[in-house]
Amino acid sequence: MAFPLPSLLSSIKDLLLEVQWLDGVILVTDSQQATFVPFSQMDSLLRRVRACPNGQMVVERLCIALHDEYDGEGAKPVLVFQGDGRFWLGMMGFNGNQSNHDGAVAHLDRCFALCS
């Protein structure tokens, strides 16, 4: 798994604020920059991901996450996808209290430390 670098969480949060009313996914690739992929460009993204190692599995999980987005109270799928096939897929949003957010960040920090 490729977990989001803790240093990326603030840029992901900023991007989520900008696109909170749009349908799509936050994507982080080997460039380590968070970008928003709108639903209208999803077919192109899914084709690129399918061509990579583990791509079909990632596409299936991403489609489930996109479906769940409509029920997710403002959360967006965040896909961290590396060219070697490692990935992390989760939902991030602004609902919930600050302690939940702090706990999620601490969890990502621990996961990243294990992967390093």
Cα separation, 100 vs 31, in Å, equals: 28
How far does the chain reach from its first CA to its final CA, in angstroms? Answer: 11
H/E stretch holding 109: helix 98-115
| β-sheet with 76-81: strand ranges across | 34-38, 24-28, 76-81, 87-92
pLDDT of res. 22: 85
Query: Do 55 and 49 contact (CB within 8 A), yes or no?
Result: yes
Cα separation, 35 vs 25, in Å, equals: 8
pLDDT of res. 20: 81
Cα separation, 99 vs 49, in Å, equals: 34
Partnered with residue 77 across adjacent β-strands are 91
pLDDT of res. 4: 58
In one-letter notation, the amino acid at residue 2 is: A
- Full pLDDT tens readout for the chain, 116 residues: 456 566 777 788 888 888 888 888 999 887 778 899 998 999 999 998 899 888 898 889 888 888 766 555 567 888 888 878 788 888 887 654 445 556 666 666 677 667 65
Cα separation, 25 vs 19, in Å, equals: 10
Q: What is the pTM of this model?
A: 0.71
